[in-house]
Amino acid sequence: MFKLTLEPVRNVLINSGIEKSAIDDIVLVGGSTRIPRIQQLVSEFFDGRTPNTGINPDEAVAYGATIQASILAGDISTGDILLLDVCPLTLGMEVYPINNEIIFTETAIFNIRI
């Protein structure tokens, strides 16, 4: 199952025409990248090179969002930076009217204010 996580990496390399040896730095992002087996598989895939651990995997997305916001605001020039929204989803929230009935397992009715 862990080996399936490398399939997108293989696809990116094939589609881009880039060799593994041309990759300068390997940065793992996300909570699952803390799993030692994932780190080992990535290291083996990139011929024993150790992934960069200098950035917190949970904060990497926030760093990217900060850079993207600066680019969109025109504050910095992009230079060699290219950021793509790989999962461009809109977040929303629905607000119920005041004094709407909310039923819990105890079937209690609560008044709410927002």
32/89: higher pLDDT: 32
Both tokens of 93, joined, read: 């929230």
Band of residue 35 on the pLDDT scale cut at 50, 70, 90: confident
Report d(CA 106, CA 6) in Å as an integer.
Answer: 47
Give tens-digit pLDDT for 42-74. 999 999 999 887 888 778 878 888 888 887 787
Report d(CA 13, CA 75) in Å as an integer.
Answer: 32
Rounded mean pLDDT, 25-38: 84
Tell which CATH architecture fits domain 2-73.
2-Layer Sandwich (3.30)
Share of the chain above pLDDT 70, in %: 67
Rounded mean pLDDT, 75-88: 67
Residue type, 89: L
Report d(CA 35, CA 94) in Å as an integer.
Answer: 36
Band of residue 106 on the pLDDT scale cut at 50, 70, 90: low
**Quick check: 39 and 26 in contact, CB under 8 A?**
no
